[in-house]
Amino acid sequence: MTIAVSVIAAYLIGSIPFSFIFSRLRRGVDPRHHGTKNVGATNTLIIAGKLAALLAVLGDIAKGIAAIMIARYLGLNDWGMALTALTVIVGHDFPLFLGFKGGKGVATTAGVLFGLDWIFGGLITLLWVLCMLLVRYFIPGSVLAFLLVPLVMWLGSWRSPFIIFALANAVLAIFVHRKDLERFFSGKEATIQEAVAKYLKKS
């Protein structure tokens, strides 16, 4: 019963669409119909500006941290904690309040990892930045970072429920980024440098 409470709470928290909320508040636009049409911080930056994007990122990170705090407060075991962690990300990707059309889970995953272990969360954030610098593409770099998390957990002797969570989340990341990956492999995805230059020119 306690696990059910944690999972339901995590999904509802994950479903809070901060990118949608701040895009509407700042510019009165719906991210599902403008820019990249993704309900995420990157699209919020494009259609609603830096402040809205920053608030969206912080909100999405906070969702992951909050879910882990709830699981800890309820005294869940490792499996319950791992299931809660995955559920808050599922809530972000497929939010109840937006017809199950949400973001890609990058910031919420970061929040989960920070909630589980601040040092580990910081290390994975650095690894994510390194992946993007090496790959030079935002989406492939992010997906690579998702794929490396379970490996780093295994090397760091994390318990199996958390490694399984990271593996499941990596599969989820590939699924929600599948169209972006198709564009990348077909040579249609812009590099980070090209995307930034395009944004600056637009600004």
Q: Side-chain half-sphere of 153: how many Cα atoms within 13 Å?
A: 22
Q: Point out the least confidently predicted range of 15-24, 164-173, 194-203.
A: 194-203
Is pLDDT larger for residue 191 or for residue 101?
101
| pLDDT value for 199 | 58
Average pLDDT over residues 108-115: 97
Structure-token match 């059910």, residue found: 4
Q: Residue 195: which pLDDT band, with cuts at 50, 70 and 90? A: low
Is 0.95 topped by the overall pTM?
no
Q: Residue 119: which pLDDT band, with cuts at 50, 70 and 90? A: very high
Percent with pLDDT over 70 in the chain: 95
| pLDDT value for 197 | 65
Q: Point out the least confidently predicted range of 3-12, 45-54, 78-87, 160-169.
A: 45-54
Residue 86 gets the label, from left (phi > 0), alpha (psi -120 to 50) or beta, of alpha
Evaluate whether 62 touches 10 at the Cβ level (below 8 Å): no
125-164 residue pLDDT tens: 999 999 998 988 888 999 999 999 999 999 999 999 999 9
- Report which of 150, 203, 195 is spatially closest to residue 172, judged by C-alpha positions: 150
Q: Write a three-state SS string for the chain.
A: CHHHHHHHHHHHHHCCCHHHHHHHHHHCCCHHHCCCCCCCHHHHHHHHCHHHHHHHHHHHHHHHHHHHHHHHHCCCCHHHHHHHHHHHHHHHHCCHHHCCCCCCCHHHHHHHHHHHCHHHHHHHHHHHHHHHHHHCCHHHHHHHHHHHHHHHHHHCCCCHHHHHHHHHHHHHHHHHCHHHHHHHHCCCCCCHHHHHHHHHHHC
What's the mean pLDDT when you consider all of the chain? 90
8-63 residue pLDDT tens: 999 999 999 999 899 888 788 888 887 777 777 888 888 888 898 899 999 999 99
Average pLDDT over residues 169-185: 92
Is pLDDT larger for residue 21 or for residue 165?
165
- Report which of 162, 140, 142 is spatially closest to residue 151, judged by C-alpha positions: 162
